[in-house]
């Protein structure tokens, strides 16, 4: 098994990997990690957790963990980077819990505190009774207290992780905890919450983009029909024989269904709801599939409310092709937010040069500062508490 995993690491990462190499330090990215997990599952039937590379960083350590039955993380909080543990930053990742997605950003932060990732809970419920954000936040709050019993707390969240960070801050303040920093990195809302005119504008742009794509393909086909058959074959294959595609056995994880236009009107509690989400791709490994379905239903059930406390909202300048403009949909709910533009799209804002720029801006808000009555006051705990 060690030889299999090491060989897959080398092929996926396209570099020499030894059994005792730290995969994250060697440059393992989120996309490569997900590809590696799928290939390893197809070869061995063992599915690795997306964050196993933080818990057991080398191929040898991962195989040893498999032998002990410790592939899935036992703790809700994962240490992403060492630092001053009494003054940490708690981070929620985007998507399905993969902190490798934020690794460039974590590496670029000069913040001296330890950085912890708060993972998503596997509630294991039937699809007809999915968990809600409040339940996830309650688990996160209790786990955060085991790491840092007293505030002030520093919280950050990317993509839908920003929603979880926001609601965790709300939960902490309700208990009288101080929030030293709350940093939201381009969090979306679900389609059901978008104001109708903004939703209609996005749907119009989406449909027009798809129409242009279809017309372009039809024009290409018409052009190829006027060429000899051998020339058409060369155009279709780029001048080469088309490669054989591997067929994934992940039949439990079907491809996306339906059109984005109708997703707003679907019931998030319906078992098939996730399959109609624009983020759904299908072909996932079993545990990843279950986590993705749970997250999309949780997102669909979420309804935003006003958070009238200070925070910093980093909005990507290019936005996302499947989500409404983050600043426009959130401003009514965040009256005391400081709005900061972050270079790149929703996906590229946390990668490479954009990540370094974003980290520098985040560092400014993570530095220790004198407490002020207006920015850091929190409701006093009741006598009963």
- 232 in any annotated domain: no
Residue 219, pLDDT score: 81
Return mean pLDDT, the chain. 88
**Do 311 and 338 touch, CB atoms closer than 8 A?**
yes
pLDDT band at 381 (very low <50, low <70, confident <90, very high): very low
According to DSSP, residue 49 is labeled P
- What's the CA gap between 170 and 153, in Å, rounded? 12
Where is the domain boundary, 37, 67, 97? 67
Domain count, the chain: 2
- 207 in any annotated domain: yes
Range of the domain at 290: 75-218+251-368
CA distances from 244 to 37, 213, 233, 237, 247 (A): 21, 26, 16, 12, 9
Residues 58, 86: one domain? Answer: no
- Cβ neighbours around 112 below 10 Å, total: 13
- What's the CA gap between 164 and 157, in Å, rounded? 7
3-class state of residue 185 by DSSP: strand
Residues 262, 360: one domain? Answer: yes
**Do 187 and 164 touch, CB atoms closer than 8 A?**
no
Here the CATH number for the domain that contains residue 214 is 3.40.50.1820
Residues 18, 139: one domain? Answer: no
Residue 370, pLDDT score: 54
- 233 in any annotated domain: no
Residues 198, 324: one domain? Answer: yes
- Chain centroid offset of residue 29 CA: 13
- 344 in any annotated domain: yes
Q: State residue 316 phi and psi, 5-degree precision.
A: -65, 140
For the ranges 239-243, 274-278, 323-327, the lowest mean pLDDT is seen at 239-243
Where is the domain boundary, 67, 91, 120? 67
Token duo for residue 110: 């000069």
Residues 38, 182: one domain? Answer: no
For the ranges 49-58, 262-271, 343-352, the lowest mean pLDDT is seen at 49-58
Q: What is the pTM of this model?
A: 0.86
Residues 176, 268: one domain? Answer: yes
Here the CATH number for the domain that contains residue 22 is 1.10.1200.10
Residues 207, 276: one domain? Answer: yes
Q: In terms of residues, how long is the chain?
A: 385
Asked if omega into 238 is within 30° of 0 (cis), the reply is: no
Where is the domain boundary, 29, 45, 67? 67
According to DSSP, residue 264 is labeled T
Give pLDDT tens digits for 195-212. Answer: 999 999 999 999 998 898
- 15 in any annotated domain: yes
């Amino acid at each position: 098994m060690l030889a299999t995993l090491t060989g897959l690491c080398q092929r996926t990462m396209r570099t020499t990997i030894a059994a005792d190499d730290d995969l994250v330090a060697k440059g393992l990215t989120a996309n490569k990690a997900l590809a590696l997990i799928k290939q390893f599952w197809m070869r061995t039937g063992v599915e690795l957790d997306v964050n196993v590379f933080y818990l057991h960083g080398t191929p040898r350590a991962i195989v040893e963990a498999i032998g002990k039955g410790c592939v899935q993380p036992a703790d809700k909080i994962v240490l992403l980077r060492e630092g001053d543990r009494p003054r940490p930053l708690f981070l929620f990742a985007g998507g399905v819990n993969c902190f490798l997605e934020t690794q460039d950003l974590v590496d670029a932060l000069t913040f001296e505190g330890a950085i912890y990732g708060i993972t998503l809970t596997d509630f294991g419920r039937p699809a007809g009774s999915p968990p809600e954000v409040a339940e996830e936040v309650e688990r996160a709050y209790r786990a955060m207290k085991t790491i840092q019993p007293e505030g002030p707390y520093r919280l950050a969240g990317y993509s839908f992780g920003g929603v979880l960070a926001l609601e965790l801050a709300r939960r902490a303040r309700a208990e009288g905890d101080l929030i030293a920093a709350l940093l939201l990195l381009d969090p979306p809302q679900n389609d059901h919450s978008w104001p109708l005119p903004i939703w209609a504008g996005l749907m119009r742009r989406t449909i027009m983009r798809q129409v242009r794509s279809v017309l372009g393909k039809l024009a290409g086909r018409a052009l190829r029909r006027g060429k000899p058959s051998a020339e058409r074959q060369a155009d279709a294959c780029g001048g080469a024989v088309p490669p054989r595609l591997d067929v994934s056995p992940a039949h439990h994880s079907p491809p996306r269904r339906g059109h984005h236009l109708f997703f707003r009107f679907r019931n998030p509690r319906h078992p098939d709801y996730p399959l109609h989400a624009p983020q759904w791709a299908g072909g996932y490994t079993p545990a990843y599939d279950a986590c993705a379905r749970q997250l999309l239903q949780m997102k669909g059930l979420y309804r935003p409310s006003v958070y009238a406390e200070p925070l910093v909202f980093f909005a990507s300048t290019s936005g996302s092709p499947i989500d409404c403009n983050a600043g426009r949909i959130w401003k009514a709910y965040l009256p005391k937010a400081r709005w900061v533009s972050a270079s790149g799209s929703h996906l590229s804002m946390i990668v490479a040069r954009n990540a370094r720029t974003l980290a520098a801006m985040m560092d400014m808000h993570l530095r220790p500062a004198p407490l002020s009555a207006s920015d850091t006051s929190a409701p006093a705990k009741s006598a009963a508490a």
